[in-house]
Amino acid sequence: MNSKERVRAVLTGQPVDRLPVEFHFADADILEHFAEKYQMDSDQFLEYLENDIRYAYVLDELGCYMQDKHLLDYAVKNGFARQDPDKPHHVYDKWGVGWDSSATGQRPVHEPLDDWDDPDQWKQLSSILRPEASAAGQFYDYERHEESFSKNNYAVVILQYYGPLERCELLRGFNNFMCDMMVDSDHAEALLDIVTDYRVEMARLISTRDVAFGHGGDDYGTQNGPLISLDLWRALIKPRLARIWSVYKDHGLPIVHHSCGNCEPFIDEMIDIGLDAIHPVQAETMDIEKLVKRYGDRVVYYGGFKTQTILTDGTPDDVRNNVRDTINTLGKSGRMFAAPINIMQNVPLENFKALVESVHKYRYI
């Protein structure tokens, strides 16, 4: 099977020759860091790792690609980002959110709608706030790799992080929007609708491309439990997710949703509205054996390795044992991605080598 066939098969419950593989790094700088250790460039390294997934970014999603110097330069030149003249490492996306491009990961430095009492800010919500999903150049990253994607039969994903909840947190600030949902629901729902309308339009545009699945990202969990109550999620988030996901489903695409932390309270209801795979299975926050008992093969498990703890602080043998045990637990029905998620730069090289070795060894179920 090629990568495209393998990924589609595992998401639709069909037999696979092996589990799909994706070594997922927290950002482009960390990918380059490990590639250099192997004396390879990033593309060569992904081939060596046998990653079945290849990502493309839309230019509106500045927070996802700002460490990629080529893409950032293109974004600035074509109006998808602007740099602070006094602090060039501070860059602003088309929503007006500021980011620190020199930081590891994605760190916002400016929330443009932090004051609901400013009438000019509220006026923005219905006029100039939302970017134009169909703007020329939006799919530049996909288009520049399209020939290679097709030639190599990769499973291509156009990333869509910062869903309705997270984008509103970025616009208002986390604390502000948590309060908005409880005490200022009219404004909160108006903002959620603006983001959702944009996501629906973007989903339509993505669905016309040759992609493996519809991707979404919205964090609903913390290390210790849910970020918001299930009742609040049902009222404000679930119907908006359903609108976005229905576009992908109408085009015959499975749904893979990213949520960090313990998002188990929401999984049943996400399955009800179309979820096919939960990304990542964060094993430090959710018991993977209990997940399998509860959901069986009703959902695909994306990840599940202990990249926060064992990969960083354990021994190479600890890493090998964790990969083996995780695949034996989550992969026994064949509905799993052998995907170490959010690999960080502080992972010891010997542990990383053990990770690669063991994923390649145990992916055959």
pTM of the model: 0.95
User: What residue segments make up the domains of the chain, in order of their start?
Assistant: 3-61+140-362, 62-138
Q: Is the pLDDT of residue 234 over 90?
A: yes
Could you tell me whether strands 82-83 and 90-92 are parallel, antiparallel, or unpaired per DSSP bridges? antiparallel
Q: Is the pLDDT of residue 107 over 90?
A: no
Q: What is the pLDDT of residues 285-332, one digit of tens each?
A: 999 999 999 999 999 999 999 999 999 999 999 999 999 999 999 998
The upper half-sphere exposure of residue 87, i.e. CA atoms within 13 Å in the direction of its Cβ, equals: 11
Q: What is the pLDDT of residues 83-102, one digit of tens each?
A: 999 998 999 999 999 999 98
Confidence tier at 268 by pLDDT (50, 70, 90):
very high
The partner residues of 221 in beta bridges, in order of sequence, read 226
Give start and end residues of each alpha helix (H) in the chain.
3-11, 28-37, 42-49, 62-65, 69-77, 119-125, 140-151, 164-172, 174-183, 185-207, 230-236, 238-250, 264-272, 288-295, 310-313, 316-330, 349-362
**What is the fold, at CATH topology level, of the domain defined by 3-61+140-362?**
TIM Barrel (3.20.20)
pLDDT confidence of residue 172: 92
pLDDT confidence of residue 122: 62
Round to the nearest angstrom and report the end-to-end CA distance of the chain.
Answer: 15
Mean pLDDT on 154-182:
96
Distance CA 143, CA 140 (A): 5
pLDDT confidence of residue 125: 61
Least confident of 35-39, 45-49, 67-71: 67-71
